[in-house]
Structure 1
Amino acid sequence: MIGGIGLPELIVILVIALLVVGPKRLPDVGRSIGEAVRGFRRAIKDADKLAVEESEKSRHDGRAGRSD
Structure 2
Amino acid sequence: MLTNIGVPGLVLFVILALIIFGPNKLPQIGKAAGESLKEFKNSTRDLTQDVTAETSEVKSMMKEEK
TM-score interval, normalised by the smaller of the two chains: 0.7 to 0.9
1:11 deviates by 2.3
State the match for 1:51 in structure 2.
51
Higher relative contact order by CA 8 Å / sep ≥ 6: 1 or 2?
2
State the match for 1:18 in structure 2.
18
| TM-score normalised according to structure 1 size | 0.77
State the match for 2:33 in structure 1.
33
C-alpha spacing 1:9/1:38, structure 2 compared with 1 (3 Å): farther
Q: Distance in 2 between matches of 1:42 and 1:6?
A: 30
Deviations 1:5-49 (A, max 9, x none): 644333232222212211111101110011001111111111111
The aligned amino acid for 1:60 is S
| 2:23 counterpart SS class | coil
Which is helix-richer, 1 or 2? 2
- Unaligned residue ranges in structure 1 (runs of 5+): none
The aligned amino acid for 2:60 is H
| TM-score normalised according to structure 2 size | 0.79
% identical aligned pairs: 25
Task: Give the total of aligned pairs.
Answer: 64
Q: Distance in 2 between matches of 1:12 and 1:57?
A: 51
- Unaligned residue ranges in structure 2 (runs of 5+): none
Q: Distance in 1 between matches of 2:26 and 2:37?
A: 16
